[in-house]
Amino acid sequence: MEATSLPDLLTAYHEDPRCTAAAEALGTERARLQLSGLVGSSAAFAATAITGRHRGIHVFVLNDKEEAAYFLNDLQTLRGKDEPEPLFFPAPSRGPYDPEGHHDGERVTRTEVLEELMRGRRRLTIVTHAEALAPLVVGRERMKRHTLKVKRGEQLPTDTLLEWLQETGFEAADFVYEPGQFSLRGGIVDVFS
């Protein structure tokens, strides 16, 4: 089959017996699969074909951040209308002037990915790299204990919310300008999470 367009290429990968075998191998419990010998965007084509056949949580670990970013971009381009948006799990950054690694953008993104895992979604694609997996993350039970779910329209006493924010490490501030801060002005609680 000669592939002349993007849909033709995707079809070729979907019909390739190696992709079929890889998808079937993922049907076993706690299956792990390592793809090698793929060059450029062929890895994303193969991944799209395999994950399209086998629903579940798929984690793709690339060598470094740049490789992971290119792979993520390819997956975003190739995914179908009904496919979930692939998520990126970054490494926590540590700059020379911030030895504790307080870069909130990465922390927020990491937390969002962990929250998606906790929600128990049946279909999830996560792209990451080795450096991002080295730091420990909070366990599921602790994350549940430190998560407060409030629905739109639900009444929550201000004192209860303020107490919870302080217990979970939020910092009171006059003006909220970064994650981890909250402010109470009048009857409005402003939280940057």
pLDDT of residue 97: 53
Domain count, the chain: 3
Query: How far is Cα of residue 147 from the mean position of the Cα atoms in its chain?
Result: 18
Whether residue 180 contacts residue 169, with contact meaning beta carbons closer than 8 Å, is answered with yes
Range of the domain at 18: 1-54
User: With bands split at pLDDT 50, 70 and 90, how would you rate the model's confidence at 120?
Assistant: confident
SS3 percent helix, strand, coil of the chain, rounded to 5, is 40, 15, 45
Q: What is the pLDDT of residues 69-97, one digit of tens each?
A: 999 999 999 988 888 899 999 988 765 55
Q: C-alpha angle with apex 184: 178 to 187, nearest 5 degrees?
A: 135
- Residue 103: pLDDT above 70? no
Last residue of a domain, one of 38, 54, 70: 54
Same domain, 118 and 84: yes
pTM passes above 0.95: no
Percentage of the chain with pLDDT > 90?
Answer: 24
Same domain, 50 and 3: yes
Same domain, 72 and 140: yes
Same domain, 82 and 105: yes
Same domain, 49 and 19: yes
Helix or strand run (H / E) with residue 74: helix 65-78
What are the residues whose beta carbons fall under 8 Å from the beta carbon of 178, sequence distance 6 or more? 104, 192
- Residue 109: pLDDT above 70? yes
Same domain, 23 and 99: no
Same domain, 124 and 45: no
Same domain, 141 and 153: no
To the nearest whole number, what is the mean pLDDT of the chain? 85
- Residue 193: pLDDT above 60? yes
Same domain, 119 and 185: no
Same domain, 1 and 60: no
Strands 124-129 and 87-89: what pairing?
parallel
> Rounded CA gap, 47 and 39, in Å?
13
Q: What is the pLDDT of residues 32-44, one digit of tens each?
A: 888 888 888 999 9
User: With bands split at pLDDT 50, 70 and 90, how would you rate the model's confidence at 191?
Assistant: confident
Whether residue 72 contacts residue 129, with contact meaning beta carbons closer than 8 Å, is answered with no
Same domain, 107 and 142: yes
